[in-house]
Structure 1
């Protein structure tokens, strides 16, 4: 069970964007950083465990060609093996900052050359994989940036072509060194167990999922077809993909094969955010129906099947939830944002 804690006030409110909350916990400093997007700016807040805000900072999207200020689409902290960067995406480009947002270390402008006159240009979907940062785009391509141990010498390493519609979200986890089980999914190109190590998944507006093996060169392992609704949010845990869809369903797939393991009719409206507590296998789902649910995932010893148990449900009355994240890897607390809500709601286990 969870109880409501002291909320954190925002200077503005949260925009109606999926995955509109990023959380970075700093246990050594007893601090938690929160990032929320509203229009052309992102608000960064630091708070102690009791919820008292200590510092706030506003970041704005870098201006590019055009008469109107660019709108920010997502803000996300990327934890790399040797540094932490704050990544901000917009309709003009991709900005990377030091973790506190004080110094911009890289700016990548989006090339609108392939876009039609009526097609929106933007970046969306951010994740770290090893020493790479991956960012999705409106064209369906995923940009892979090689990040140095320090300094601004960031390089666009490659572009991954797996989607035909705009990327919505990207999830990664450290590579699981085990031989996959089950039959190969549609489109699988694994040649050996090592080739089948799936440690990144990308989703798009059509509901298609692409499963990748990261490395100096990323390799597409398999495609999991959509079924007519978008997939706004994905997570990856111990070789299991958790995907949240626009019809309120959460589906769990085997990452290495694309096999559907579990289907949950979790929400009455579109899911806007998923998150995972990796230490305990808790899955958080949040949707436009005002509900946040927490599920416990367990992998069975025989056959690698996934068992799911519902642990908690929380209603945020009269609020279109647009972001939700665990605040620690054990899943003992979580935070929620809502459209036009001028505060971050916090909940902790009793």
Structure 2
């Protein structure tokens, strides 16, 4: 169903982290940007939307403010708001927010006491936007930090801290008024925005394996696990309505096409797989296609066309983004 296209070469390699690929399409400038992280470096490449030319390559070295040395990046993500787009770094010891091209750091939020000399194991992981102005980021303590993002400028404020999870947050995703959060125990909590604040309304207990990814599509929640399973839940009730033994090993990334319900998953088993969601009284998930990148531990994935006709993946220690398109 898909064929491999020319890969995009990066200046640096890719760490073995879940969701280690983010793609940003700038429709005004007709460009696409791809970002991956390795240790304390974010590798960024921007190409023309038609794929003809590489317009920019940049490496952003993530350092703690005050010159305290570099910090390990756990995840980077392009976050789009109605008036602006940002590049967000979830790191050890804190959170950094940049302009979308990585040129200027706008905000730093520390997860540790800056006056403490103790070595901290604090980290942030899991990033998503919510509605028009909220940015949600998970932490190792199980807390979700909610920031208010202004239309412009650097006046970014911590709005609230949500504490329902016991173990570290692993993944976040939102759609409409609903936020889904997963953790290292496999537990998923569904939240709803009420009067500009988030309130938990449903808890889905884990089944013995960490939840590695969540995606909301219409009235369905798709969750991936370290066991290689994909599970489908109803957003309103939290009832599980489908389960697939999708991969032989840990699923590292998931993406969804909101237009048509196509799902992309990649795993340590070297496979990228495409699925189709079906709504109704008895929702289903159907396998459509599989692509193997031999001997590569895949750790990032994203659709690059709004109809799901193209996607890209990254793999551990690769210095490239591998692209696929429909035949």
Shorter chain as denominator, the TM-score bin is over 0.9
Q: Structure 2 length as normaliser, TM-score? A: 0.94
Aligned mates of 1:112, 1:120 — CA distance in 2: 12
Counterpart in the other structure of 1:138: 140
* Cα distance in 1 between the residues matched to 2:180 and 2:306: 20
Tell me what 2:203 maps to: 223
SS of the residue corresponding to residue 86 of structure 2 reads: strand
> Would you say the 8 A contact 1:145–1:155 is kept in 2?
yes
| C-alpha separation in 2, matches of 1:343 and 1:271 | 20
SS at match of 1:235: strand
Q: Which residue of 2 aligns with 1:150?
A: 152
What are the within-5 Å matches in structure 2 for residues 1-350 of structure 1? Answer: 1-48=1-48, 49-50=50-51, 52-63=53-64, 69-111=70-112, 120-130=121-131, 131-175=133-177, 199-215=178-194, 216-300=196-280, 303=281, 305-350=282-327
Contact 2:93 2:121 in 1 (8 A): no
Distance in 2 between the 1:238 and 1:222 partners?
17
CA contact (8 A) 1:213 1:221 kept: yes
Task: Pick closer, same or farther for the CA change 1:55–1:3 going to 2, 3 Å.
Answer: same
Once residues 298 and 22 of structure 1 are traced to their aligned partners in structure 2, the CA distance between those partners, rounded to angstroms, is 26
For structure 2, list consecutive stretches of 5 or more residues without a partner in the other structure.
none
Whole-angstrom CA distance in 2 between matches of 1:261 and 1:52: 45
CA distance in 2, matches of 1:66, 1:25: 33
Q: CA deviation at 1:321?
A: 0.3
SS at match of 2:14: coil
The SS at the match of 2:28 is: helix
SS in 2 for 1:214: strand
TM-score by length of 1: 0.88
Do the aligned partners of 1:171 and 1:235 also contact (CA within 8 Å) in 2?
Answer: yes
- Secondary structure of the residue aligned to 1:33 is strand
Counterpart Cα distance in 1 of 2:325 and 2:35: 19
Count of paired positions: 322
1: distance between equivalents of 2:113 and 2:226? 28
User: What are the superposed Cα offsets for residues 58-84 of structure 1, whole Å, 9 maximum, x if unpaired?
Assistant: 112232689763101111011112221
Structure 2 SS opposite 1:232: strand
- Contact residue 11 and residue 59 of structure 2 kept, 8 A: no
User: Mean Cα displacement is larger for which, 94-103 or 151-160?
Assistant: 94-103
- Output the CA distance in 1 between the equivalents of 2:122 and 2:183: 15
The superposition leaves residues 134-187 of structure 1 with CA deviations (integer Å, 9 ceiling, x where unpaired) of 000000000000111111111100001111111011001123xxxxxxxxxxxx
CA contact (8 A) 1:80 1:129 kept: no
Describe the shift of the 1:66–1:252 C-alpha distance in structure 2 as closer, same or farther (beyond 3 A). farther
Stretches of structure 1 lacking an aligned partner (at least 5 in a row): 176-198
